[in-house]
């Protein structure tokens, strides 16, 4: 499928995949697609950074190549590895048949592709490459990425340079558990993904948790939006809002009630200190506020 | 794209550079390219297109938005000069203003998420040597110049620093003839040089490397006489190894990692003195730690960081919130070392509330009886850990 040709088309593409993007994010995604620059997304956990890559892959009809980063991730696990066992075997066989002089042990079929090489493999269909949680990898790994991000190519000393026929769409995400180096940032378009505003969050909830009644989802969003302005150690993300809507539906709740909120706080808040702070009176107050926003004129 | 717009973008990039944003020529070209693709009549698209190409850090976004709103407001040529003046003024104002407000303004530029309570203008605590306002303190806080030999000495001392858990095995490999792992790729390549005959097995071993170090250093009144030596220490450590983050706290927390990165100690100390508004005031350890936990811990404590907390544990707030925040800090780092420079005699009993709140949550408690030199500091920190000492301290507390 062709790349979108305007910001509006990009927003429509994301929306078709169930992703509600704000105008700034849609513009950045559009630019990243048009300029063929990697997209570097930073933001709090649970704000939908990874989801963008998935939706793009689906919307553009491309395969999604995902590289989950972790400490110690190296070239052999991220890019490529030579199949040493087969190389040695090939040498043995060639020797036995007297053709040792003609064997090339660095031929393509001895090269095992890992995500990075697979994403730029000219023999495979175009890809969306998701490099997820780059901050979890250690610094040396970032250096492996530089050539790939700048030119969509990888140089393998024994083999040569592999270059993508169609530039892959590259999405990098980070939760900022470590600052990613400037060299990576320079090669990318940067976007900070923030928590959505109430209207956008309601829209997201309508798409992601369609079984929830309109009234309940409006109250849920109002409650979570208030919760985000509290002094908490870890604020709930959109993913938590969606989970919570699901949890309340399973408990057959049709509107927010302090009791049910207290019992399900663990879906929204993941630290005991935060839960202890909100549970009880504070939760009841937030529920009241949320309700008064949703239906400002109570029927007496 | 029209030449006028291209010129305007160039001027705008220059303005951003003057305001302190690292906007390079490559960023400017990318911005030109981006603007050609979007609808320039739409202000949001224009702003995002420029921001996404010129800004690479979330901290810079707010300054960018401010500059954008000033620069692209009206199309007259004269506004450029005005914009320059406004941005430059905005940048240079902080040192002139009252420190608390200026500090907030500065921090607002760095991280818009931070919310802090205004600092009440209380006089410094009794521990403060002199009763002067914070502002006056700031001006008098200049550090003795370091001679070239001082710097060389400091470097030599820091080389001897051995922190607990210092050599941490990473998952990276390095060629080593005695290594435990065989490196088949290197073996095969070497064999090609011998006509395909494997004569020698190449080996590799894990690389060890010190973990990230986070230093939280108290600069309140009671610690002020050591500020000089501590700063020398911090500067030397920050320049000796990579992955060091440094924070100072008194009544508030300041991240001085970037300032300390200047190679020249005097330049570094000058910018530190400017960036930190609360030299020699009181101490709110609990609040400073709470802020660290909330805003910074997730960003700097990854990958098994060791935290070095330098404080005497004398807290102005009567240890409010100290125990909880120490506990959280302890749980988020791989090792928490507390260095207390105020223990000058062996019969010291940790009676202060702050000390009793903190002791249960540290892995190691180090004391310096006479913090007269960098050497004594390094020696104290490099001593092997003693579990018995730690138990003794905990019992006394």
Per residue of chain A (300 residues), give pLDDT as tens: 688 999 999 999 999 998 999 999 999 999 999 999 999 999 988 899 999 999 999 999 999 999 999 888 888 899 999 998 898 888 888 888 887 677 888 899 999 999 999 999 999 999 999 999 999 888 888 888 998 999 999 999 989 999 999 999 999 999 888 888 888 999 999 999 999 999 999 999 999 888 888 889 999 999 999 999 988 888 999 999 999 999 999 998 888 888 899 999 999 999 888 899 999 899 999 999 998 888 765 544
Q: Which residues of A42-55 are buried (b: 16+ CB within 10 A; e: fewer)?
A: bbbbbbbbbbbbbb
Taking the CA of residue B204 and the nearest CA in chain A, the distance in Å comes to 14
DSSP strands (E only) in A11-78: 39-43, 63-68
> With an 8 Å Cβ cutoff, are B56 and A176 in contact?
no
Alpha-carbon gap, residue B279 to B255, rounded angstroms: 14
Alpha-carbon gap, residue B297 to A264, rounded angstroms: 27
Name the nearest CA neighbour of A23 among A5, A36, A6, A38.
A6
> With an 8 Å Cβ cutoff, are B299 and A176 in contact?
yes
Sequence-distant (≥ 6) Cβ neighbours of residue B209 within 8 angstroms: B167, B168, B170
> With an 8 Å Cβ cutoff, are B294 and A24 in contact?
no
The three-class DSSP label of residue A64 is: strand
Pairing of strands B181-182, B203-209: antiparallel
Q: Are A122 and A153 in contact (CB under 8 A)?
A: no
Alpha-carbon gap, residue A173 to A40, rounded angstroms: 6
Number of CB pairs, chain A paired with chain B, less than 8 A apart: 102
pLDDT band at B182 (very low <50, low <70, confident <90, very high): confident
Residues from chain B contacting residue A194 (CB–CB below 8 Å): none
How many other C-beta atoms are found inside a 10 Å radius of the C-beta of residue B21? 19
Alpha-carbon gap, residue A277 to B161, rounded angstroms: 42
Which position has the higher pLDDT, B313 or B138?
Answer: B313
- Chain A's closest residue to B53, CA to CA, is A189
> With an 8 Å Cβ cutoff, are B49 and A88 in contact?
no
The three-class DSSP label of residue A39 is: strand
- B48, B61, B115 ranked by CB distance to A28: nearest: B48
pLDDT at position B164 is: 64
Residues from chain B contacting residue A191 (CB–CB below 8 Å): 52
Helix (DSSP H) and strand (DSSP E) numbers for chain A: 14, 9
> With an 8 Å Cβ cutoff, are B34 and A31 in contact?
yes
- At B191, list the tokens: 């064999």
For residues B304, B307, B308, B311, the Cα torsion angle rounded to the nearest 10 degrees is -170
- At B170, list the tokens: 């990473």
- Residue A81 phi, psi dihedral angles, 5° rounding: -150, 140
Q: Are B250 and B280 in contact (CB under 8 A)?
A: yes
> With an 8 Å Cβ cutoff, are A191 and B324 in contact?
no
Sequence-distant (≥ 6) Cβ neighbours of residue B227 within 8 angstroms: B141, B219, B279, B280
Residues from chain A contacting residue B299 (CB–CB below 8 Å): 176-179
- At B308, list the tokens: 């070095």
Taking the CA of residue B100 and the nearest CA in chain A, the distance in Å comes to 21
- A6, A105, A178 ranked by CB distance to B299: nearest: A178
- At A148, list the tokens: 């790939």
Rg (CA), chain A: 24
The three-class DSSP label of residue A176 is: coil
- The dihedral through the CA atoms of B41, B45, B46, B47 has a sign that is positive
Q: What residues are paired with A157 via a beta bridge? A: none
Q: Are B128 and B221 in contact (CB under 8 A)?
A: yes
- Chain A's closest residue to B55, CA to CA, is A190
Residues from chain A contacting residue B196 (CB–CB below 8 Å): 91, 100
> With an 8 Å Cβ cutoff, are B56 and A30 in contact?
no
CA A122 vs CA A42, A156, A165, B295: distances in Å: 30, 15, 5, 44
Q: Are A233 and A273 in contact (CB under 8 A)?
A: yes
- At A107, list the tokens: 């031929």
> With an 8 Å Cβ cutoff, are A23 and B45 in contact?
yes
- The dihedral through the CA atoms of B297, B300, B303, B306 has a sign that is negative
- Chain A's closest residue to B195, CA to CA, is A101
DSSP 8-state symbol, B118:
P
Pairing of strands B335-340, B306-310: parallel
> With an 8 Å Cβ cutoff, are A35 and B30 in contact?
yes
Which position has the higher pLDDT, B339 or B51?
Answer: B51
> With an 8 Å Cβ cutoff, are B170 and A72 in contact?
yes
Which stretch of DSSP H or E encloses residue B335?
strand B335-340
- Chain A's closest residue to B198, CA to CA, is A88
The three-class DSSP label of residue A53 is: helix
> With an 8 Å Cβ cutoff, are A192 and B37 in contact?
no
pLDDT tens for B62-118 read: 888 888 888 887 555 445 555 665 555 544 443 333 333 333 334 333 433 334 334
Residues of chain A in Cβ contact (below 8 Å) with chain B:
6-7, 23-24, 27-28, 30-32, 34-35, 37, 40, 42, 71-72, 74, 82, 84, 87-88, 91, 100, 105, 135-136, 138, 140, 158, 175-179, 182, 185-186, 188-192, 231, 233, 273
Q: Which residues of A191-219 are buried (b: 16+ CB within 10 A; e: fewer)?
A: bbbebbeeeebbebbeebbeebeeebbbb
Sequence-distant (≥ 6) Cβ neighbours of residue B217 within 8 angstroms: B230, B234, B246, B247, B248, B249, B310, B311
Taking the CA of residue B173 and the nearest CA in chain A, the distance in Å comes to 9
- Chain A's closest residue to B32, CA to CA, is A35
pLDDT at position B392 is: 73
- At A226, list the tokens: 């208030």
Which of B38, B48, B112 is most worth mutating to test chain A (most A CB atoms within 10 A of its CB)?
Answer: B48
pLDDT at position A28 is: 96
- At A249, list the tokens: 């539906």
- A30, A35, A182 ranked by CB distance to B56: nearest: A182
- Chain A's closest residue to B189, CA to CA, is A158
pLDDT at position B85 is: 56
Alpha-carbon gap, residue B277 to B185, rounded angstroms: 56
Q: Are A114 and A77 in contact (CB under 8 A)?
A: yes
- At B205, list the tokens: 């071993």
Q: Are B388 and B396 in contact (CB under 8 A)?
A: no
Rg (CA), chain B: 26
- B48, B55, B172 ranked by CB distance to A27: nearest: B48
DSSP strands (E only) in chain A: 39-43, 63-68, 80-82, 111-113, 127-132, 153-156, 160-163, 169-174, 189-193
Alpha-carbon gap, residue A232 to B117, rounded angstroms: 15
Q: How far is CA A154 from the centre of its chain?
A: 23
Pairing of strands B203-209, B168-175: antiparallel
Residues from chain A contacting residue B188 (CB–CB below 8 Å): 82, 84, 87-88, 105
Q: Are A169 and A128 in contact (CB under 8 A)?
A: yes
- B55, B115, B293 ranked by CB distance to A190: nearest: B55
pLDDT tens for B361-383 read: 888 887 776 666 677 777 777 77
Please classify residue B287 by burial: count the beta carbons closer than 10 Å to its beta carbon, then call 0-12 exposed, 13-18 middle and 19+ buried. buried
pLDDT at position B96 is: 36
How many other C-beta atoms are found inside a 10 Å radius of the C-beta of residue A255? 17
> With an 8 Å Cβ cutoff, are B324 and A42 in contact?
no
- A28, A32, A177 ranked by CB distance to B298: nearest: A177
> With an 8 Å Cβ cutoff, are A189 and B53 in contact?
yes
Taking the CA of residue A31 and the nearest CA in chain B, the distance in Å comes to 6
Alpha-carbon gap, residue A44 to B238, rounded angstroms: 28
How many other C-beta atoms are found inside a 10 Å radius of the C-beta of residue B229? 18
- Residue B349 phi, psi dihedral angles, 5° rounding: -115, 130
% of chain B with per-residue pLDDT over 70: 74
How many other C-beta atoms are found inside a 10 Å radius of the C-beta of residue B313? 23
Residues from chain A contacting residue B289 (CB–CB below 8 Å): none
Residues from chain A contacting residue B44 (CB–CB below 8 Å): 23-24, 27
Which position has the higher pLDDT, A62 or B60?
Answer: A62
CA A118 vs CA A57, A75, A240: distances in Å: 15, 13, 33
Alpha-carbon gap, residue B345 to B354, rounded angstroms: 19
Mean pLDDT across chain B: 74
> With an 8 Å Cβ cutoff, are B37 and A140 in contact?
no
Residues from chain A contacting residue B172 (CB–CB below 8 Å): 72, 74, 138, 140
pLDDT tens for B305-351 read: 889 998 887 776 677 788 888 998 998 888 888 888 766 544 555 66
CA A191 vs CA A12, A26, A152, A289, B27: distances in Å: 19, 10, 21, 32, 15
Which position has the higher pLDDT, B272 or A52?
Answer: A52
């Amino acid at each position: 499928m062709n790349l979108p040709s305007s910001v509006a088309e990009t927003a429509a593409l994301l929306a078709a995949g169930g992703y509600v993007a704000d105008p700034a994010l849609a513009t950045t995604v559009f630019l990243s697609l048009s300029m063929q620059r990697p997209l570097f997304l930073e933001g709090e956990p649970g704000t939908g950074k990874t989801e963008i890559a998935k939706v793009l892959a689906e919307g553009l009809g491309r395969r999604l190549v995902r590289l989950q980063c972790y400490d110690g991730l190296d070239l052999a696990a991220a890019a490529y590895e030579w199949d040493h066992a087969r190389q040695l075997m090939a040498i043995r066989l060639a020797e036995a048949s007297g053709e040792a002089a003609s064997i090339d042990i660095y031929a393509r079929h001895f090269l095992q592709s890992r995500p990075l090489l697979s994403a730029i493999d000219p023999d495979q269909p175009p890809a969306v490459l998701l490099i997820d949680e780059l901050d979890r990898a250690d610094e040396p790994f970032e250096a492996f990425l530089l050539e790939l991000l700048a030119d969509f190519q990888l140089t393998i000393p024994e083999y040569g340079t592999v270059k993508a026929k169609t530039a892959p769409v590259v999405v990098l995400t980070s939760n900022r558990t470590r600052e990613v180096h400037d060299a990576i940032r320079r090669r990318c378009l940067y976007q900070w993904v923030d928590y959505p505003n109430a209207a956008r969050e309601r829209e997201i909830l309508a798409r992601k948790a369609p079984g929830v009644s309109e009234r309940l989802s409006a109250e849920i969003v109002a409650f979570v939006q208030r919760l985000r302005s509290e002094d908490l150690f870890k604020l709930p993300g959109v993913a938590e809002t969606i989970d919570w809507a699901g949890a309340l539906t399973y408990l057959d709740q049709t509107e927010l009630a302090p009791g049910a909120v207290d019992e399900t706080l663990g879906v929204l808040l993941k630290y005991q200190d935060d839960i202890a702070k909100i549970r009880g009176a504070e939760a009841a107050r937030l529920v009241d506020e949320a309700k008064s926003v949703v239906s400002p004129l109570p029927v007496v | 794209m029209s030449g006028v717009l291209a010129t305007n973008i160039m001027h705008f990039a220059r303005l951003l550079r003057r305001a302190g944003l690292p906007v390079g020529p490559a960023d400017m070209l990318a911005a030109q390219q981006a603007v050609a693709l979007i609808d320039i009549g739409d202000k949001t698209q224009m702003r995002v297109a420029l921001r996404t190409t010129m800004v690479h850090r979330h901290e810079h976004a707010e300054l960018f938005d401010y500059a954008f709103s000033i620069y692209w407001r009206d199309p007259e040529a004269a506004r450029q000069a005005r914009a320059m003046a406004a941005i430059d003024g905005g940048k240079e104002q902080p040192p002139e203003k009252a420190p608390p407000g200026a500090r907030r303004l500065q921090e607002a530029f760095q991280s818009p998420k931070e919310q802090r309570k205004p600092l009440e203008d209380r006089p410094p605590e009794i521990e403060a040597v002199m009763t002067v306002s914070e502002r006056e303190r700031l001006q008098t806080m200049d550090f003795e110049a370091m001679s070239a030999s001082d710097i060389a000495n400091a470097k030599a001392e820091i080389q001897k620093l051995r922190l607990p858990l210092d050599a941490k095995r990473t998952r990276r490999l390095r060629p080593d003839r005695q290594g435990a792992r065989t490196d088949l790729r290197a073996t095969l390549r070497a064999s090609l040089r011998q006509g395909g005959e494997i004569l020698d097995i190449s080996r590799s071993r894990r690389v060890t490397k010190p973990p990230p170090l986070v230093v939280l250093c108290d600069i309140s009144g009671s610690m002020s006489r050591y500020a000089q030596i501590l700063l020398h220490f911090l500067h030397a450590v920050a320049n000796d190894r990579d992955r060091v983050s440094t924070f100072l706290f008194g009544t508030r927390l300041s991240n001085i990692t970037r300032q300390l990165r200047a190679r020249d100690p005097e330049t570094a100390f000058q910018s530190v003195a400017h960036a930190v508004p609360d030299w020699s005031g009181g101490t709110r350890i609990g609040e400073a730690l709470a802020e660290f936990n909330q805003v910074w811990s997730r960003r700097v404590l990854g990958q098994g960081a060791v935290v070095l907390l330098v404080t005497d544990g004398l807290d102005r707030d009567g240890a409010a919130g100290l125990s909880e925040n120490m506990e959280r800090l302890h749980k988020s780092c791989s090792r928490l070392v507390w260095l207390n420079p105020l223990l000058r005699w062996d019969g010291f009993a940790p009676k202060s509330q702050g000390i009793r709140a903190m002791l249960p949550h540290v892995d190691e408690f180090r004391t310096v009886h006479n913090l007269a030199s960098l050497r004594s500091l390094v020696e104290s920190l490099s001593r092997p850990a003693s579990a018995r000492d730690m138990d003794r301290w905990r019992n006394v507390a």
